[in-house]
Chain A
Amino acid sequence: MSERLTRSWRTVSLRWRVALAFGLVSTAIAGLLAVTTWQLASSYMLEQRERGATTQATVDGRLVADSLRRGSDELPTLLVGLTGEPGTAVLLRSGGRWTTAGREVDPAMVPAALVDLAAAGTTSRQRVVLGGTPVLAVAMPVGATGDVFVRLAPLTELDRTLRFVSAVLVAGTVLAGLLGVLLGWWTARRALLPLTELTDAAGRMAEGDLAARLPVRHEADLAPLAARFNATADALAERVRRDARFAGDVSHELRTPLTTMINAGEVLHRRREELPDAARRAVDLLTADVRRFHRMVEDLLEISRGIQAPHSQDLEPVDLAGIVQNVPDHLVAGARIDVATPAPLVMADRRRLDQVLANLCQNARHHGGGVVRLGVLRRDGHAVIEVDDAGPGVPAELRQRVFERFARGARTGRDGGDTGGTGLGLALVAQHVEGHGGRVWIEDRPAGGARFVVALREVAS
């Protein structure tokens, strides 16, 4: 049970935990102060009131005793005169007979023990509730043995005061608790601000923004955190750059021997008819794979540059209709071309956009039996290119993965592995589209097959 409590406590965010702790502590302190204040104030006031009432009763008792001794018949008048304060009652038991004045009170309601004590000669007092009103009863012996004078003084005023004081104290405690929570929340927020920034920066970095850094603060506790994070980020970025540069350098170095191979191969290929059968087949294999090797190196070189926004000198307004119409014919033979009018315009590097579309068409040819429709339209405020094929489609669980590098897997095995693809085509598509701030995803084509969708920001023409 306590374990579960601990666990659920941990799921509460640190900020709220600090806030609650602050709230609890301040409630406890304020509560303690309030209780002490209450104790002192209430006992002091009660004591004052009791002392006053007793003094008054003693004075009154003496007057009554005198009057009894003199046996004067002014006694009832005197008794009435003694009840000056409203709500006060005086009772006299003289010779076993009760006389009352002031507020109407049944003598039987006065606690018997009090009366007995007074009858025995001891002045005593007690707080009682009579008819719903708190009163202080003071009883004392008067005159002859067994005669008792009782004065009932109302405590309503005191009660009201005490009630007010207690209300103020409770409200103060609650307020202190709330202020504590607020203070704790604010303090935690201040203290955790670097953590929030760290979370943001780490999140941005995870999304591929290698330039995400923490602001350097001059607070002793936080500076090392920021410095360490930034150093780590620098190292990471450097490593990513080095890896990318390595892939780029390798591809670059491969190009020179590759150029020699391609051109030497071209000569052989042109003269394949002159070759004996086995040599011809060898040359065919060789030249086909050298070409694929070439494409792979080119793609690798391109992809090693990473996601990059195009240089401003490469950006131009591009009419998507033009892009679609310029896909090489052999890639879109027999495809329907739907272009919205007017065709949407985007700011793009035309070369890369061409490559995106060519690669998507190539992909459709390799895995979907060829493009059946190319669409240019507007969807949800974006300029959109749709490349449809009538193939088997892409299962939902692969729709992210196919955009990864060399993510060939299940989709290639079917036609013997060699589809002429480099395994980088869709990765390049994703990279270029992201570089343009756009998005690419896969849907089901309504009539069966896959639909690759590229969404880009439209610009006004």
Chain B
Amino acid sequence: MTTRVLLVEDDERIRQALGLALADEGYEIVETATGEEALELVDPDLDVVLLDLMLPGIDGIEVCSTLRSRGDLPIIIATARSDTADVIAGLEAGADDYVTKPLIAGELSARIRALLRRRRRPSGDADDGGSTSDVTLGDVVIHRSREVVERAGQQVHLTHTEFRLLAELAAARGDVVTREHLLQRVWGYDYFGDTRLLDVHVRRLRRKIEPDPDEPTLVLTVRGSGYRTGP
């Protein structure tokens, strides 16, 4: 089964070259230049969206949050610079990963593969080192076999990435999990670069499961090294 990628990029030549190169890597590419068209083109057969944040018309952030509100379709955003608010805004809007321009087919392909690999692999896999049993964290219950999280009996909707992050932290049972380890385990590629990705995902996770996201009690930051679950 070939992987279907929706490529949203407004620059004609980049779109063509990137589409060509990704197709050459074996992906099936659906191309569009605008956010409006992208939202129309989304169908259940798509595996991943590659979204440029700088778009004419509806901007990438809005496309991203609209897509996220519709479901758990993996989204990779492309930003101009790595140290701007763009990255954070895109991740806050629900993106699973981000790449910085220029977009290079080889690198993108590695990201896409990593993103899809963990999606296809159930999180209760043997290499998670844990069982598929449920884990309780405060009033949050993680049903690992079903990938369902409940808070005070109510189901909390987490994206796949958020769920894996929480499961990874919970598996350490209160021990510190380094950022590098989390990036490697959850995003699946060797960490090198920044950890903004992780921090924003932790923030998103806290907003969904913490009673007070500003005073976290379940997912705690260990200054300078990583995160751990509390209390």
Give the B-binding residues of A (Cβ under 8 A): 252, 255-264, 266-267, 270-271, 294, 301, 310-311, 313-314, 316-319, 322, 325-328, 345, 349-352, 354, 358, 461
A264-B224 contact, Cβ under 8 Å, with A270-B24, A294-B102, A351-B194: no
Residues of A within 8 A of B13 (CB): 256-257, 260
| A259, A261, A294, A351 — most chain B CB neighbours (10 Å) | A259
Let me know if A317 and B104 touch, CB within 8 A: no
> What residue in chain A is nearest B179 (Cβ atoms)?
A322
Q: Is the CB of A260 within 8 A of B17?
A: yes
The main secondary structure of chain A at its interface with chain B is: helix
Interface residues of B (CB under 8 A from A): 11, 13-14, 16-18, 20-21, 24-25, 80-83, 85, 88, 101-106, 178-180, 190-196, 199, 223-225
A255 CA / B11 CA spacing, docked (Å): 12
Q: A264 to B105, alpha carbons, bound, how many Å?
A: 9
Q: Which residues of A sit under 8 angstroms from B105, Cβ to Cβ?
A: 263, 266-267
Contact check, B194 vs A266: say whether CB atoms are below 8 A apart: no
A-B contact count (CB 8 A): 89
Q: Which residues of chain A have C-beta atoms less than 8 A from B192's C-beta?
A: 326-328, 354, 358
Assembly CA distance A22 to B52 (angstroms): 74
User: Contacts A319-B225, A326-B191, A345-B224 known; A266 to B14 CB distance under 8 Å?
Assistant: no
Question: Which residues of chain A are within 8 angstroms of B178 by Cβ–Cβ distance?
Answer: 322
Q: Kindly list chain B residues whose C-beta atoms are within 8 Å of the C-beta of A257.
A: 13
Q: What 7 pairs between A and B have smallest CB-CB spacing?
A: A351-B194, A259-B102, A263-B17, A317-B224, A263-B21, A260-B17, A319-B224
Which residues does chain A contribute within 8 Å of B16, judged by CB atoms? 260
Question: Do B14 and A256 have beta carbons less than 8 Å apart?
Answer: yes
Smallest distance from the beta carbon of B191 to chain A beta carbons, Å?
Answer: 6
Q: List 26 A-B contacts (CB under 8 A).
A: A252-B80, A257-B13, A259-B14, A262-B102, A262-B104, A263-B18, A263-B20, A263-B105, A266-B21, A267-B20, A270-B24, A310-B83, A311-B83, A316-B199, A317-B223, A317-B224, A319-B225, A322-B178, A322-B224, A328-B192, A345-B223, A350-B195, A351-B82, A351-B83, A351-B196, A352-B83
Report yes or no: B17 in contact with A264, Cβ–Cβ below 8 A: yes
Query: Shortest CB–CB separation between residue A307 and chain B, in angstroms?
Result: 15
Q: State how many angstroms separate the Cβ of B76 from the closest Cβ of chain A.
A: 16
Across the interface, which residues of A come within 8 angstroms of B191, CB to CB? 326
Alpha-carbon distance between A260 and B25 when the two chains are bound, in angstroms:
16
State the Cβ distance, B145 to closest chain A Cβ, in Å.
33
Chain A nearest CB from B185 CB (Å) reads 15
| Residues of the B chain whose Cβ atoms lie less than 8 Å from the Cβ of A354 | 192-194
A187 to B11, CA, bound (A): 68
Q: How far is the CB of B50 from chain A (nearest CB, A)?
A: 13
The residue from B25, B180, B199 contacting A325, defined by CB atoms under 8 A apart? B180
- Docked complex Cα distance between A261 and B14 (Å): 9
Q: Distance (Å) between the CB of B25 and the closest chain A CB?
A: 8
**Whole-angstrom CA separation of A252 from B80 in the bound complex:** 9
Q: Which residues in A have their C-beta under 8 angstroms from that of B24?
A: 266-267, 270-271
Q: Which residues of B contact A267 (CB under 8 A)?
A: 20-21, 24, 105
CA distance A252 to B100 in the complex (A): 13
Q: In the assembled complex, how far is the CB of residue A151 from the closest CB belonging to chain B, in whole angstroms? A: 105
Q: How far apart sit A219 and B81, CA to CA, in the bound complex (Å)? A: 48
A residues near B102, Cβ cutoff 8 Å: 255, 258-259, 262, 294
Given contacts A264-B21, A318-B224, contact A313 B194 (CB under 8 A): no
CA gap between A358 and B193 in the complex, in Å: 10
Identify which of A266, A301, A325, A354 gathers the most chain B CB atoms within 10 Å of its CB.
A266
Q: Which residues of B contact A294 (CB under 8 A)?
A: 102
* Bound-state Cα–Cα, A311 to B85, Å: 10
Query: How distant is the Cα of A438 from the Cα of B179 in the complex, in angstroms?
Result: 25
Contacts of A326 in B (CB 8 A): 180, 191-192
Beta-carbon contact of A260 and B82 below 8 Å: no
For the complex, give the distance between the alpha carbons of A345 and B101 in Å: 31
Set of chain B residues within 8 Å of A352, measured between Cβ atoms: 83
What is the minimal beta-carbon distance from B86 to any residue of chain A, in angstroms?
12
Residue contact B82 to A263, C-beta cutoff 8 Å: no
CB-CB < 8 A to A258: which residues of B? 102
Smallest CB–CB gap between B206 and chain A, Å? 16
A229 to B81, CA, bound (A): 36
| Cβ–Cβ contact B180 & A322, under 8 A | yes
Neighbour of A461 across the interface among B82, B179, B223, CB < 8 A: B223
**Given A266-B106, A270-B24, A326-B192, do A260 and B180 touch, yes or no (CB 8 Å)?**
no
Query: In the complex, what residue of chain A is closest to B103 when comparing beta carbons?
Result: A259
Q: Complex: how many Å from CA A350 to CA B105? A: 26
Chain A residues lying within 8 Å of B11, measured Cβ to Cβ, are 256, 259
